[in-house]
Amino acid sequence: MVQSIVDSGLVPEGALSLICGGAGDLLEHLDSQDVVTFTGSATTGQQLRVHPNLVAKSIPFTMEADSLNCCVLGDDVTPEQPEFALFIREVVREMTAKAGQKCTAIRRIIVPQAQVSAVSEALIARLEKVLVGDPAQEGAKMGALVNSDQRRDVQENVNKLIAAGCEIRLGGRADLSAAGAFFPPTLLFCPQPDETPAVHAIEAFGPVATLMPYQNREHALTLARAGEGSLVGTLGHRQRRAGTIVYSRRRPLPRAYSDPQRRVVRRVYRPRLSAAAAGSRRPGTRRRRRRARRPAVGEALHAAHGGSGQPDHAGRHLQTVGSRRAGGRRPRSPRSANISKRSSPATAC
């Protein structure tokens, strides 16, 4: 693909190069106009960051390293419910897709203490059906790791997790002398996740995930936050309110809101917005125009979430909808809307 791009002449000569294999002394030839981006393990990234040439010439360096992504099963889900089956299916898919060699793969499975046995049995039943082999082979569901060195690295990290106190529920051992860099789907169990920091720090970059219990929702959040720097967090629950996104108290609210947050915003503002825009012509009187005060969205949002300080006015998507006047004129001020007898009820957009 890269060769086709170069041959097309769409990019200047020398703008795109591909090196397959070791980089040698490539970092020694970089200058202050260069930038280094790295994707890999945190250990390797830390070594590259302090490379003498990068430090001496202040070469920008960014990296995307280990990510102990988690998947949390809500305490309102039981094995008889469809959400439970969906949770199991998603975990298995994330563990085995690309043989677990992706930054968003699930590494930590956080479930209620009462559901540990049910989740473990369901995961094992599905993982045992995953046929590992050549993708060209009929029925093969998962292929090999990138090479034998990667298989050895995954095995070493699995051994570290076992030494730290994790138990093998499925897989966990690969024949390092066998042809092909295949590694079996591996499910570990950590009975004491609070006392096992390794499970929140060591990433086996393969089809490996660790099951761990939580006692209550606050405990589940504590375990989820323990994997600092995680790219993805998944929550399987039955009630929408149980899936409310929880923010760190040390971090301000973002300007971009996900769908669950917008629902919260609408619940907070819609009554106030409707009250401000409620105006109609009384029988026998002239048409009356009222200016609908724009709600202090940022202030209300911070109050709803217990925030303080200057509000973040991120609610500019909220507006009142009124009919246009006969002459086609619009309200002069974007912060107001003309309400007449033909006006539709106030809505939050």
Span 43-61, pLDDT tens digits: 888 888 899 999 999 999 9
Per DSSP, 291 falls in state B
Secondary structure string (H, E, C) spanning 323-344:
CCCCCCCCCCCCCCCECCCCCC
Contacts of 115 (CB under 8 A, 6+ apart): 73, 77, 78, 79
Q: What is the pLDDT of residue 238?
A: 81
Predicted pLDDT at 143: 93
CA distance 323 to 337: 9
Q: Helix H segments across the chain?
A: 2-8, 42-49, 52-56, 82-96, 116-127, 148-164, 217-226, 259-277, 297-304
Tell me the three-class secondary structure of 189-242, residue by residue.
Answer: ECCCHHHCHHHHCCCCCCCEEEEEEECCHHHHHHHHHHCCCCCCEEEECCCCHH
Say what the pLDDT of residue 170 is: 96
Q: Evaluate if pTM is beyond 0.85.
A: no
121 is catalytic: no
The pLDDT assigned to 326 comes to 41
Which pLDDT does position 241 carry in this prediction? 61
Q: What would the two tokens of residue 345 be?
A: 């009820």
Which domains does the chain show, CATH number per domain?
A: 2-64 (no CATH), 69-243 (3.40.309.10), 258-349 (no CATH)
The active-site residue, picked from 83, 103, 167, 299, is 103
Cα–Cα separations (whole angstroms), residue 152 to 207, 324, 328: 13, 70, 73
**Residue 323 identity (one-letter amino acid):** S
Q: Residue 229's pLDDT is what?
A: 67
What pLDDT score does 202 carry?
92
Tokens 């994707």 correspond to what residue? 39
Task: Supply the pLDDT for residue 190.
Answer: 97
Residue 160: partners with Cβ closer than 8 Å, 6 or more residues away: 198, 202
Q: Position of tokens 């202050």?
A: 32
Low-confidence ranges of the chain (pLDDT < 70): 229, 240-349
What pLDDT does residue 228 have?
77
Please confirm, yes or no, whether 70 is among the known catalytic residues: no
Active-site entry in 64, 83, 90, 167: 64
User: What is the model's pLDDT at position 246?
Assistant: 52
Give dist(CA 180, CA 147) in Å, integer.
8
pLDDT for res 132: 94
The pLDDT value given to residue 90: 93
- Both tokens of 104, joined, read 């968003």
DSSP 266: H
Q: What distance in Å separates the CA atoms of residue 292 and residue 27, rounded to the nearest whole number?
A: 61
Using only the alpha carbons of the chain, give its radius of gyration: 28
Alpha-carbon separation of residue 185 from 155, 170, 175 (angstroms) = 12, 7, 13
Please state, in angstroms and rounded to a whole number, the distance separating the CA atoms of residues 12 and 68. Answer: 39
Strands 69-73 and 106-112, bridge-based pairing: parallel
